[in-house]
Chains A and B, each alone.
Chain A
Amino acid sequence: MTSRRRKLTGYAFIAPVLLFLGAVVLFPLGHAFWTSLLRVRGLTTRFAGLANYATVLGDGAFWHSLWLSFAFTALSVSLHMVLGLALALLLDELRTARTALRIAFLTPWMVAPAVGATIWLWLLEPQFGVVNYLLQATHLASAPVAWLGEPLTAFLSVVAVDVWRGVPFVMLLMLAGLQTVPPEQYEAAAMDGASVWQRFRFVTWPNLRYLLVVASTLDAINTIRHYDIIGVMTAGGPAGATEVLPVLLYNTAFRANRFGEAAAIGVLLLVVVLALAAFYIRLTRIDRDGAAR
């Protein structure tokens, strides 16, 4: 087979995937970018150049949402990692009920985000919610707490629900990572009289560090795009306290009916996600090159 023919055969094999990706990724992206350049009023559109970007970037709501998105992502991802790792270490040490606990911890991850958010919405309901009932019954609160009614508690509540849902996946990754740590290293540490903390610090941590960085980068890419939990629980309220970029995008498109501006927000959000993705690719490339050397 000639080199040209071999090349063509290769292209023929990847053509279906390219076509599929073009249809489900490139076309929507291109369409979104094109929409961001239009003034859309229902079915009437006209070219507006960069006017939508100027409007969005000149609006304090966008910068507020951007800041919130970073804060939400940073807090959620940190907690996913810390709690996910802690649970993985706990499960790794357990000798009994390990499978049952693993399934139990995974349950939140198996629940559809919108369903989980709705459950929490009712658990946190100020007058009839179970959380306030328990807090008052145990005298931890003297009056009902308006969890989703005050900016700070609303923000922390949506972070908490995201953590509830996001930790199991990280736990699973870390558990898999822990299985790859060579047992000889633990044996050697034990022979040297290392404490539990020292074993973690000098054996587990170095072995998991790369996995943690990769997992947190992927988790950040995933979390910064989150809509469902916040959309269901607060719709961005109260007074914009939880209006992260995807929620702002939704509210601009479907509540304010400004599709051009919403598309511009989407493109700007994509830039943020691409920056995180570039970081991830760089990380994996460093690792691959390192492994090759």
Chain B
Amino acid sequence: MHPVRATVLAVTLAFAAPALAQQPIVLQWQTANLTESQYEPIWKKTIAEFEAANPGIKVEPVLVARKDHWTKFVAAAQAKKAPCIVTVDLTTAAYNGYLMPLDKYFNAEPAAFRDAWSADILSAAKWKGELYGLPIWGGTYGEIYNRDLVVKAGLDPAHPPKTVDEYVAWGRKLTGDDHWMLAVLGGKTDTTTRVLLTWIWANGGEAFNKDMTEATFAKDPKSLAAIKQYLGFAAKGGIAAPSPTTTNYLEQTNLFAQGKIASMRNAYWSVAKVLGDNPALKGRMFATPIPANVSNAPTLSSVAASSISSSCEHPDAAWKFIKFDADKKWSIERAVVANWMPLRNDLADDPAIKADPLLAEFVKMGQHARSYPLPHPAWAGIAANDIVDAVQKALLAPDKTEEIFRDLDARLTKKLRDI
């Protein structure tokens, strides 16, 4: 090489190499919850501490409203540009090829790390035997009451309803001209489906057969009876707030925060939302297991797992962040500050968790819960679309409930088998 060219090249490299070496890896992180104010201080702190500990990696949060979260992820995944770290409907995303199996990373970790998750919790993050996410936090559904309203109605918070009949009896006393016992959820998100499933399970019914190849909303008499009873609460003169077809998590927590409804079936995180809307309710709520007609009826526990998208260019760095975020410290902060339940099995006896009676109650309820989303690749669409449509139709035409859910069974069974 000509000496002048060689000198120019050497000088260029001398200047460029450090700059190139200093280019950090940028990991995008998208969950449905980064825009929730209760979580903001924690994720900002998590990122700051992770970046300080790993100078070569930067984490860029992708802020997306909850209802646009899945759409944005799918659009990006289709373009093979999905954020590296995501929390999405795991089975649907894994089936569609949007996620990367994490077994090689998980299995390479020491036993002490791996044992922090029970096999049951890990199974909620698996598809076809492969691990596609690390369970980070969850939400067990329980019955949350406004203590003041309960006492005002002459009811005893120490003896909450244990059966559905007792719940209805409470409901009659807690319902008036402009206030109600509960809000029936019929808005167009999968929260409608989550709550419906808890009512079905509380009556000993099943919405699907064991291997998820058949829908049994109407086929199972106990399931149908539960659906009719629950949706019937919204009928005129019933114990539920009006306009159920537009009521969802947001509206339900608003109604509860404003004292319009005395109880809400929800996860522990709704407590933080309610306190954000009405801080005066602090210490004035209590939670109980879901009233049920059968003993040992399971409740629903959503499992939010952090996954790595299949198009991620830096999976090693992404796993590093997931591991960091799954640490005890952040699990406790998420539970205490954002009211998200920890999924590690080494935290139930932690003093910080035990110090909060409401959280401790939810942790107890979680011991008998079924994990959600249900394990089927079409679940995201079924939960947010088909089941919600059937609920809305049945709310608008209660006398046709059986027919509507029979149609739903047929439609879903076809979908469940078409994969």
A236 within 8 A of B: yes
A128 within 8 A of B: yes
Are A235 and B188 in touch, CB under 8 angstroms? yes
Are B246 and A257 in touch, CB under 8 angstroms? no
- Taking CB atoms, residues of chain B closer than 8 Å to A43 are 77-78, 80, 96-98, 310
| Least distance between B79 CB and chain A CB atoms (Å) | 11
Give how many A residues have a beta carbon under 8 Å from the other chain's beta carbons.
29
Cα distance A73–B253 when bound, in Å? 36
A177 within 8 A of B: no
B293 within 8 A of A: no
- Taking CB atoms, residues of chain A closer than 8 Å to B392 are 237-240
Residue from B242, B255, B389 within 8 A of A239 (CB atoms): B389
Q: Known contacts A42-B97, A43-B78; decide if A251 and B242 are in contact (CB<8 Å).
A: no
Are A255 and B310 in touch, CB under 8 angstroms? no
Most buried by B among A234, A235, A259: A235
- Taking CB atoms, residues of chain A closer than 8 Å to B244 are 149
Beta-carbon nearest neighbor of B96 in chain A: A42
Q: Known contacts A43-B310, A126-B246; decide if A254 and B74 are in contact (CB<8 Å).
A: yes
A146 within 8 A of B: yes
B1 within 8 A of A: no
| Least distance between A245 CB and chain B CB atoms (Å) | 16
Beta-carbon nearest neighbor of A143 in chain B: B242
Q: Tell me how many residue pairs across A and B have CB atoms closer than 8 Å.
A: 98
Beta-carbon nearest neighbor of A254 in chain B: B71
Are B381 and A258 in touch, CB under 8 angstroms? yes
A107 within 8 A of B: no
Residue from B186, B243, B386, B389 within 8 A of A144 (CB atoms): B243
Residue from A146, A240, A256, A259 within 8 A of B243 (CB atoms): A146
Cα distance A125–B241 when bound, in Å? 13
Cα distance A125–B258 when bound, in Å? 14
Are A127 and B385 in touch, CB under 8 angstroms? no
Q: Known contacts A127-B260, A239-B245, A239-B392; decide if A251 and B385 are in contact (CB<8 Å).
A: yes
Most buried by B among A125, A148, A149, A150: A149
Give how many B residues have a beta carbon under 8 Å from the other chain's beta carbons.
42
Most buried by A among B75, B244, B386, B393: B393
Are A257 and B92 in touch, CB under 8 angstroms? yes
Q: Known contacts A238-B186, A239-B389; decide if A149 and B246 are in contact (CB<8 Å).
A: yes
Cα distance A113–B310 when bound, in Å? 35
Cα distance A144–B389 when bound, in Å? 23
Tell me what chain A mostly uses at the interface: helix, strand, loop, or mixed. loop
Are B393 and A239 in touch, CB under 8 angstroms? yes
Beta-carbon nearest neighbor of A44 in chain B: B97
Are A255 and B96 in touch, CB under 8 angstroms? no
Beta-carbon nearest neighbor of B393 in chain A: A239
- Taking CB atoms, residues of chain B closer than 8 Å to A149 are 242-246
Are B381 and A41 in touch, CB under 8 angstroms? no
8 Å CB interface, B341-385 against A: 377-378, 380-381, 384-385
Cα distance A150–B381 when bound, in Å? 23
- Taking CB atoms, residues of chain B closer than 8 Å to A151 are 396
- Taking CB atoms, residues of chain B closer than 8 Å to A234 are 188, 246
- Taking CB atoms, residues of chain A closer than 8 Å to B381 are 255-258
- Taking CB atoms, residues of chain B closer than 8 Å to A237 are 187-188, 245-246, 388-389, 392
B113 within 8 A of A: no
- Taking CB atoms, residues of chain B closer than 8 Å to A256 are 378, 381, 385-386
Produce 1/0 per residue, B224-266, CB < 8 A to A.
0000000000000000011111100001001100101000000
Cα distance A234–B98 when bound, in Å? 29
Q: Known contacts A43-B97, A238-B186; decide if A127 and B78 are in contact (CB<8 Å).
A: no
Are A254 and B96 in touch, CB under 8 angstroms? no
- Taking CB atoms, residues of chain A closer than 8 Å to B71 are 254
- Taking CB atoms, residues of chain B closer than 8 Å to A128 are 254, 258
Cα distance A44–B77 when bound, in Å? 12
* 23 intermolecular pairs with C-beta atoms under 8 Å apart: A41-B377, A42-B93, A42-B97, A43-B78, A43-B98, A44-B97, A126-B242, A127-B241, A128-B254, A148-B243, A148-B245, A149-B244, A149-B246, A236-B188, A238-B186, A238-B245, A238-B392, A239-B392, A239-B393, A240-B392, A251-B385, A257-B378, A259-B78
Given contacts A235-B188, A238-B245, 18 further A-B contacts (CB under 8 A): A42-B93, A43-B80, A44-B96, A125-B251, A127-B254, A128-B254, A143-B242, A146-B242, A149-B242, A150-B396, A237-B392, A238-B396, A239-B389, A239-B393, A256-B378, A257-B96, A257-B378, A259-B78
B residues near A, CB below 8 A?
70-71, 74-75, 77-78, 80, 92-93, 95-98, 186-188, 241-246, 251, 254-255, 258, 260, 310, 377-378, 380-381, 384-386, 388-389, 392-393, 395-396, 419
